[in-house]
Structure formats: structure tokens, C-alpha cells
């Protein structure tokens, strides 16, 4: 009489999918402050100060606190590992390990991560469907187009567009652009567009200066 088949070493139990990495304490605190800015009481909003100065994890340059910035990088790195494992089958879709040296990837990964976090907190699957249908495929395709064959299974490659970028920022090129911009502004001042306000319309409201035409709060 034979017993039930015994599991082999290859049949070691494992979960079918890995959970989305949770942000660290400081990133979570940044998100809580943003929630207060949106939904908090008047007293809570006042305690936060100027909401334009709040850190936004989907936009890394706004995270100016060094400890928050370090926390953000740690979270994004874990998310990249998770994305490569859970959503990539073909090697051409892999996010390269040198992604921190590609500013376009840093910006996009931060937004993709934020969208996935929000989708995971939603009370329905609609946002997750949107993330799967649009955000992930669009990110993968843009990454493939921008990276092409660079940084595949090898060390980070020098920026192919560095020379052209340096020429764009050269003094003579910057001077020429400034001359064109100045000419445009001068022409507009000489011949204003009909219906355009001739000056700023500002008013002090509750201690802040407000542009009455746009509603923008000015410093």
C-alpha cells in the first residue's frame, strides 16, 4: 500500500504573488500631511503652513528633507525589485539596475509607484484596472523606447545625448535663445493681444496676496 505523494525539494511552498512594498515611516508621514491638506479641518490645515511646500513623494525633488529623501529612495528601490519580479517576463521589459542614474526613470518610477499605492488603497478595483491597463504598459513602452539597447545586461552606459545637451546649455546658444525670447516679449508689449489685462490685479486676502484674474496665491 502506498501513501500520498511526498513533496519534493522543488515543490517548496511559496506565495503566488508578492505584496506591493509599503513606504517607510517618513514617506507615510508625507502622505498623511497631504491628506490633511486636502481633507483636514481648518485648524489642521493652518498648522501645516503653506501647502505648496509639502513634500510630494511622486515628485522626488519636492522631498528636500534628507531623511525623507533617503526613505523615498529605499521605497522606490524595493518597488523596482517588485515590479521586475511581478510584472516582467521578457528581459526587454526589465528596469535596469542603474535606474537611479537615469533621471527620466527616477521621475517615472516615482509616479508609477504613487499611482500603485493609491490603487491599492481604493475600495474598488477600478483604479487598479486603470493602473494595469494604462500606467504599466505606457511606462514599459516609454522605457523601452528611451533606453533602447543601452544598459542591457551590462554596466551603465554614458548618456548618448550628453553632447547635444551640453551644446544646448552652451553660453552662445543660451544667449541666442534669450535674444529671441526678449524680442517676443517686446513685440507683445508693443502690440498687446486684444482682451489681455494690461497689468496684475492683486489683492490681499486673509494675509496672502491673491491674483484676482487667476486665483493664484502669490508670495
Q: Which residue has the cell 481648518?
A: 42
* Per-residue pLDDT, 79: 96
pLDDT above 90 as % of the chain: 51
pTM beyond 0.95: no
pLDDT tens digits, residue range 22-32? Answer: 999 999 999 99
pLDDT of residue 219: 57
Give the number of other CB atoms < 10 A from CB of residue 55. 21
pLDDT at residue 192, as a whole number: 76
Question: Where are the extended beta strands (E) located within the chain?
Answer: 202-205, 208-211, 217-218
Under 8 Å CB-to-CB from 81, ≥6 apart: which residues?
21
The dihedral built from the CA positions of residue 91, 93, 95 and 96, taken in this order, carries a sign that is positive
Domain ranges of the chain: 19-150
C-alpha cell at 6: 511526498
Task: Collect the ranges in the chain with pLDDT lower than 50.
Answer: none
DSSP structure string for 102-159: -HHHHHHHHHHHHHHHHHHHSSSSHHHHHIIIIIHHHHHHHHHHHHTTTTSSSSPPP-
CA distance 58 to 72: 9
**Helices 103-121 and 136-147, packing angle to 10 deg:** 170
Amino acid at each position: 500500500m502506498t501513501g500520498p505523494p511526498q513533496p519534493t525539494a522543488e515543490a517548496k511552498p511559496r506565495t503566488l504573488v508578492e505584496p506591493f512594498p509599503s513606504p517607510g515611516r517618513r514617506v507615510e508621514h508625507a502622505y498623511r500631511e497631504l491628506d490633511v491638506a486636502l481633507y483636514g479641518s481648518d485648524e489642521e490645515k493652518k498648522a501645516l503652513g503653506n501647502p505648496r511646500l509639502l513634500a510630494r513623494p511622486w515628485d522626488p525633488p519636492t522631498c528636500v528633507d534628507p531623511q525623507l529623501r533617503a526613505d523615498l529612495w529605499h521605497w522606490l528601490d524595493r518597488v523596482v525589485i517588485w515590479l521586475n519580479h511581478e510584472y516582467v517576463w521578457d528581459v526587454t521589459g526589465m528596469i535596469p539596475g542603474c535606474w537611479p542614474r537615469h533621471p527620466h526613470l527616477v521621475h517615472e518610477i516615482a509616479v508609477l509607484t504613487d499611482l500603485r499605492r493609491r490603487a491599492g488603497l481604493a475600495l474598488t478595483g477600478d483604479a487598479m484596472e486603470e493602473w494595469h491597463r494604462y500606467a504599466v504598459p505606457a511606462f514599459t513602452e516609454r522605457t523601452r523606447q528611451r533606453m533602447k539597447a543601452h544598459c542591457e545586461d551590462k554596466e551603465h552606459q554614458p548618456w548618448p545625448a550628453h553632447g547635444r545637451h551640453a551644446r544646448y546649455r552652451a553660453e552662445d546658444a543660451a544667449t541666442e535663445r534669450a535674444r529671441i525670447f526678449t524680442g517676443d516679449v517686446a513685440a507683445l508689449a508693443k502690440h498687446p493681444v486684444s482682451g489681455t489685462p494690461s497689468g496684475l490685479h492683486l489683492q490681499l486676502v486673509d494675509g496672502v496676496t491673491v491674483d484676482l484674474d487667476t486665483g493664484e496665491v502669490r508670495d
